[in-house]
Every structure is written in structure tokens, then in C-alpha cells.
């Protein structure tokens, strides 16, 4: 039986994916059996519109969708399948949970991915949309997982280790930048370091990750304190971290270095 190397990433907004898994995609971009499936819950139509940017509340969703697709072209590895669920930005928690689960499950069922990546309960920024789509994806994964399938071997949550979060916050304070308060919604927060089970070194592909990030022109003001500082941005994207929601791992299990490591 051919090995399953399909990766499905399920995120809330355009640009979540630009940070969330772009490095791991780059590492496997040229693998002959790698398949990349991307699911966005919303178009990001409620995002911020900075002064002077040519978008309105009515057009921002279309603008951000186009930016996301341009970002993957700039990155150099476009998704093999890219689905937009068109759910309401900023209000995912108000959509009946079963509807969100069903929308995600339909695509995952068709694709049978070996690895599914989404948000964990922290949502990285405590964003309700992140938390909702993560919970819905977890539920869809649990319903579809079966010994009769080659897929659904690993469910990973993108995360920031607590030690890294604290270091970044100290650096921000030293530079006179605002610091994140993890008790507040929309502020970055870390997860305990011992929950991190996968650390991916994607520094060799940092330039292509940043090339993708730069295409999210409408959101550059919220994505980086200084979008012109390429060196800083490339350092920031040199690692990706994941907690593993399934299967359960032993406390002393070695750190994995790739989303597919150890899979059949």
C-alpha cells in the first residue's frame, strides 16, 4: 500500500495559514506523494482595514481571499485543494457547532489525510474563531478516525511554547513595543513546553515563507511590527511548533521534528 502523505490544514482566516504551517509545506513541497489540502472557515471580511488601504468592509473578504491565494503562489507550493467554507468572520462561535463540524468533516472524509493541523484550545491568540474551528476539526477527526483507513494518523495543534512566548515578550518590552497579555482575547499566549511534541526546523525555507507573508498586504500592519525588516521576519518563521492531540504520547517520548515523522 502506498504511504499516505496528505496534509490537511484547517484554519479560520486568510493569513492564519501563512504562519501556521507554511514551513512544513515547504519542507515537503517536492515530495512526489505529498498532497496539501487547505481549508479556510471564513474570508476574513471583518479584519482591520488600515488607513489608505484600497478596501471597504464590503470588499475586504474578496481582497483577503485573493491575497491568500497569491501568498501560496509566492511561497511556491500552492494547495492541491483549497476550500473556503464562507462562514461568518468573527462569529464562528455563533454558527451551530454541528454545522461547522459537518462542513469540515465532509472535506476531510473525501481526502483521508494522514495529518490534520488546526488550532488548539488556546487558539494561539485566544481568538474565538480560532478556538471554534479547532474544536470543530478535532471533533471531525475523532468521528472519521478508523483502523480501516490509511488517514487520520495524527492530529496536531499549532502552538507557541511558553518559554518562546516569554522570550518574545521580553524582547518586545526591551524594544519598547507593546507586550502580549495572555489573559486577554486577541493576545498571543503560549502553551506549556511539555505539551509541544513536534518542533520543525524550517529555517532553510524562511525566505519563501516570508515571501508568502508579504502577499497579505491588507494585514501587514497587524502581522508585523516592521514588515520591511526581512531579517527579523525570517528569524521568526524559522521554527514551527505543534502539540499532538492524537494519538496520545508518553511523557518521555522523544521530540518529533516533522509532521509526518514516525507515521506508517
Could you read off the pLDDT of 44-91 as tens digits, one per residue?
999 999 999 999 999 999 999 999 999 999 999 999 999 999 999 999
Q: 209 lies in a domain?
A: yes
Domain that holds residue 38: 5-160+189-246
Question: Region 20-38: what's the mean pLDDT?
Answer: 96
Query: If you search the block for the grid coordinates 516533522, which residue do you land on?
Result: 258
Residue 1: band (very low, low, confident or very high) from pLDDT cuts 50, 70, 90: low
Q: 23 lies in a domain?
A: yes
Q: 170 lies in a domain?
A: no
Q: 95 lies in a domain?
A: yes
Q: 262 lies in a domain?
A: no
Cα–chain center distance at 150: 23
Q: 261 lies in a domain?
A: no
What value does the mean pLDDT of the chain take? 96
3-state secondary structure the chain: CCCCEEEEEEECCCCHHHHHCHHHHHHHCCCCCEEEEEEECCCCCCCCCCCCCCCCCCCHHHHHHHHHHHHHHHHCCCCCEEEECCCCCCCHHHCCHHHHHHHHHHHHHHHCCCEEEEECCCHHHHCHHHHHHHHHHHHHHHHHCCCCCCCCCEEEEEECEHHHHHHHHHHHHHCCCCCCCCCCCCCCCCECHHHEEEEEECHHHHHHHHHHHHCCHHHHHHHCCCCCCHHHHHHHCCEEEEEEEECCCCCCCCCECCCCCCCC
Q: Say what the pLDDT of residue 2 is.
A: 77
- Judge whether residue 177 has pLDDT over 90: yes
Q: Say what the pLDDT of residue 19 is.
A: 87
Could you read off the pLDDT of 121-166 as tens digits, one per residue?
999 999 999 999 999 999 999 999 999 999 999 999 999 999 999 9
d(CA 10, CA 237): 19
In this prediction the pTM is: 0.96
Q: What is the CATH number of the domain that holds 206?
A: 3.40.50.10320
Of 139-143, 194-198, 249-253, the range with the lowest mean pLDDT is 249-253
| Number of independent structural domains in the chain | 1
Q: Say what the pLDDT of residue 81 is.
A: 98
Residue 20: band (very low, low, confident or very high) from pLDDT cuts 50, 70, 90: confident
Q: 232 lies in a domain?
A: yes
Could you read off the pLDDT of 201-239 as tens digits, one per residue?
999 999 999 999 999 999 999 998 888 899 999 999 999
Q: Say what the pLDDT of residue 185 is.
A: 95
Q: 19 lies in a domain?
A: yes
Amino acid at each position: 500500500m502506498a504511504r499516505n502523505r496528505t496534509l490537511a490544514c484547517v484554519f479560520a482566516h486568510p493569513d492564519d495559514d501563512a504562519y501556521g504551517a507554511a514551513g512544513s509545506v515547504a519542507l515537503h513541497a517536492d515530495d512526489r506523494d505529498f498532497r496539501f489540502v487547505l481549508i479556510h472557515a471564513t474570508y476574513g471580511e471583518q479584519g482591520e482595514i488600515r488607513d489608505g488601504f484600497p478596501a471597504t468592509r464590503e470588499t475586504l473578504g474578496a481582497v483577503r481571499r485573493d491575497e491568500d491565494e497569491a501568498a501560496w503562489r509566492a511561497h511556491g507550493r500552492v494547495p492541491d485543494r483549497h476550500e473556503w467554507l464562507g462562514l461568518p468572520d468573527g462569529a464562528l462561535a455563533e454558527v451551530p457547532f454541528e454545522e461547522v463540524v459537518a462542513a469540515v468533516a465532509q472535506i476531510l472524509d473525501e481526502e483521508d489525510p494522514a495529518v490534520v493541523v488546526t488550532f488548539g484550545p488556546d487558539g494561539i491568540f485566544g481568538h474565538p474563531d480560532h478556538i471554534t474551528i479547532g474544536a470543530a476539526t478535532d471533533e471531525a477527526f475523532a468521528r472519521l478516525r478508523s483502523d480501516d483507513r490509511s488517514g487520520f494518523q495524527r492530529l496536531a495543534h499549532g502552538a507557541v511554547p511558553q518559554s518562546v512566548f516569554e522570550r518574545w515578550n521580553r524582547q518586545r518590552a526591551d524594544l519598547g513595543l507593546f507586550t502580549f497579555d495572555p489573559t486577554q482575547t486577541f493576545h498571543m499566549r503560549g502553551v506549556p513546553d511539555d505539551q509541544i511534541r513536534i518542533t520543525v526546523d524550517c529555517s532553510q525555507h524562511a525566505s519563501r515563507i516570508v515571501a508568502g507573508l508579504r502577499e497579505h498586504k491588507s494585514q501587514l500592519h497587524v502581522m508585523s511590527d516592521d514588515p520591511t525588516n526581512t531579517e527579523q521576519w525570517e528569524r521568526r518563521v524559522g521554527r514551527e511548533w505543534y502539540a499532538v492531540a492524537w494519538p496520545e504520547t508518553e511523557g518521555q517520548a522523544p521530540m518529533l521534528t516533522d509532521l509526518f515523522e514516525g507515521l506508517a
